[in-house]
Amino acid sequence: MPSKIIQVREYTVKAHKREIHTRIFNFVCKKCDQPTQRETFGVRPLYCERCRPPQAPKKSAVPLRTRKARPMTYKSDVDLANSL
Ligand SMILES: [Zn+2]
């Protein structure tokens, strides 16, 4: 299948309700080897909820911009009071 790169514009989606189709999988966790059950969106999960909590904290890839524009300080050898 041919592939190409397209530009996707940024957009915001309002909060809304959506019907999603989930399935309950019975499987063995890859990490702890325990038989477990987990509800997912169609893809068979690999890990149980203990090994991979559903709401794992996301690591932000974007570094916070902490740099602030500083007011410029000019140093001058000329004493303004004497030059007037
Ligand atoms: Zn596990």
pLDDT tens, residue by residue, 7-66: 988 888 899 998 888 889 999 999 999 999 998 877 888 999 899 887 755 666 656 566
Query: How close is the Cα of 40 to the center of ligand 1, in Å?
Result: 15
pLDDT of residue 26: 94
Question: What is the Å distance from ligand 1's center to 75 Cα?
Answer: 63
Q: What is the pLDDT of residue 79?
A: 67
CA 78–ligand 1 middle distance (angstroms): 72
What is the pLDDT, as a whole number, of residue 36?
94
DSSP-H helix ranges across the chain: 80-83
Instruction: Look up the pTM and report it.
Output: 0.42
Indicate the burial class of 48 (C-beta count within 10 angstroms; 0-12, 13-18, 19 or more): buried
Q: Which residues surround ligand 1, an ion (CB under 5 A)?
A: 29, 31-32, 48, 51
51 CB-contact burial (10 Å; exposed 0-12 / middle 13-18 / buried 19+) = middle
Residues 49-73: pLDDT tens digits? 899 887 755 666 656 566 666 777 7
Task: Estimate to the nearest angstrom the gap between the alpha carbon of 82 and the chain centroid.
Answer: 58
